[in-house]
A and B are shown apart, each in its own frame.
Chain A
Amino acid sequence: MPKLMGTAFLLLMLLPLTFGACSSKGVQTKKRTVTVAGSTSVMPFTEKLAEHFMVDHPDFVVDVQGGGSTAGIQACMNNTVDIGMSSRQLKNEEKLLNQIIVCYDGISLVLNPRNPISDLRLKDVRDIFSGKIKNWKELGWIDRKIDAVTREEGSGTRGSFEELVMNKEEIDDGIMVQDSNGSVKEVVATDPYAIGYISLGLVDDKVKAVIIDGVGPSIDAIKLGQYKIVRPFLYVTHGELDDSGKEFIDFVLSVAGQNVLKKEGLIGAYD
């Protein structure tokens, strides 16, 4: 009796495996895979694009990973993935990769909704992140330390932020670090004394977007050139893409693809 149970149990465990083996044999000849990895800013939007794409192209599988812009660029250079996602400009040593501008995205400084401050000067932001301003009372609020959050070094968002806001000044190393847009947003959403920077496309009512030098981050302000903290979302490839990859990119750059992005709060590549 125990033997019977044991065998039954083993078979039950093997079921998903056989399922997988069968489907992979049948599936591998049919499914076309595109692997994408990189920026955590770009990732949710790529996922959205992938979802739409795979509805119309059921024989495709688009695999999306995070890791950060630099990780994606590296993975692309190593040919670990087909497409790398970046939310910053390529550095000189990375320029050997093909880059495709997918869309534009603003970087928004965010505060907790309970923070009464709604606008800051760019210089203030710089001073907060370089560690010069440490307390909210210096900005007109209560006597409480500023809990600033930044992204990790390899982040494209951080790279763009450093380029567009910090302007050669270094981010203080006593500042907290989180490794994705989502987690920065979470910290700011739960800590009344926090400040961070995230992709504009990710701002919702959990956090408050900050008006910088009198200009609020909005799609119109960006299009009009008033809000200047903007960076491109790039797809990078190493050499020639295979057909599967090309089809996906074609979709991304098509009107349909661009509309998906615009609906999510991004700015089209052609705008």
Chain B
Amino acid sequence: MRINPQFIDKIVKIGLNFQAFFTVGILVAIVAIIFFKGSPYLNMEFIFSSPEDMGRHGGIFSTIVGTIFLVLLSIFVATPLGVGTAIFLTEYTKESWFTKTIRFGVESLAGIPSILYGLFGFIFFVIKLRMGWSLMAGVLTITIMILPTIIRTSEEAIKSVPRNLRIVSYSLSATKWETVTKVVLPSAGPGILTGIMLSVGRAVGETAAVIFTMGSSLRLPTSLMDSGRTMAVHFYILAREGISMEKAYATALVLVLSILFINIVAYYIMNKVTSKYS
């Protein structure tokens, strides 16, 4: 006897409904747990004082600064490098062994686990180049880590700028560089920015690549050769050593809020710029 397909349809709908809510529910639960368990301990003091007694007391100020320094510096290095490379690949050359090699590098490095960046960064920067556990070693490592993403998203964004825009620009006797800066880049802006924001988010949450290169000192890093902790590293240490559950949750909350903030900023900028051009 054949089961009525309408009946199956209804069952499936309920089943999918349930599964979808279950799946999303788990993810929402994660954020909710962090939020509810962490917010009691999140206050001004927590943000502006540094860890004491291995993190049992005090706040996370030095780790916030460490995170900001690491991420900002990495972005400052990787963005011009990455966007410049993308511009070069799309606007200034034809397909050749050179461009193919770069694309191969970018493709291959996408999805490389962060521990391999940690492995490389530790042996190469910390030990062989004698930088020690330092902000500099961390920045260099994270820069390499986010470079492929920035190149890739920038390239895609630039490529998707309609040819007509460029043709019109040239027909108005603009030079190549003028075209790039005044026409192509503004139009590709949102896409490029997305890539940058994605990288920022990734760098903020990164642990394996950072703990082996920037180290885990509790001090406030004040120079490039200083070691320091990022929030993610601090959270990891607090969590696995059971030093303080409360501080761990609060740190996790700050982490999640930072990522939320970064995403919101990204969407705001993207919408602002796209609305300008649509």
Contact = CB atoms under 8 A, between A and B. Distances in A.
A and B part of one assembly:
yes
Interface size class of B (residues with CB under 8 A): 20 to 34
A28 to B, nearest CB: 6
Contacts of A80: 126-127, 130, 132-133
Given A17-B69, A64-B217, A80-B132, A186 B240 contact: yes
Interface string B233-253: 000010011110000000000
Contacts of B31: none
B216 A66 contact: yes
B219 A182 contact: no
A183 B240 contact: yes
Contacts of B222: 20, 23-24, 27-28, 31
Contact of A182 (B69, B218, B221, B240): B240
Given A13-B72, A27-B222, A180-B240, A47 B54 contact: yes
Interface string B106-132: 000000000000000000001100101
B223 A183 contact: no
B122 to A, nearest CB: 10
B227 to A, nearest CB: 5
A17 B242 contact: no
A61 B224 CA distance: 15
B155 interface: no
A37 interface: yes
Interface in A37-58: 37, 44, 47-48, 51
A55 to B, nearest CB: 11
B243 A65 contact: no
A78 B127 contact: yes
A63 B227 contact: yes
A65 B133 contact: yes
Interface in A148-200: 178, 180-183, 185-186, 189
Nearest to B227: A63
Interface in B172-219: 215-219
B240 A64 contact: no
Interface of A: 2, 13, 16-17, 20, 23-24, 27-28, 31, 33, 35, 37, 44, 47-48, 51, 61-66, 78-81, 178, 180-183, 185-186, 189, 206
Give 4 closest A-B pairs by Cβ, nearest first: A182-B241, A186-B242, A24-B223, A63-B217
19 contacts: A13-B72, A16-B72, A17-B72, A20-B221, A24-B224, A31-B222, A35-B132, A37-B215, A48-B53, A51-B52, A63-B227, A65-B133, A65-B216, A65-B217, A66-B216, A80-B130, A80-B133, A185-B241, A186-B240
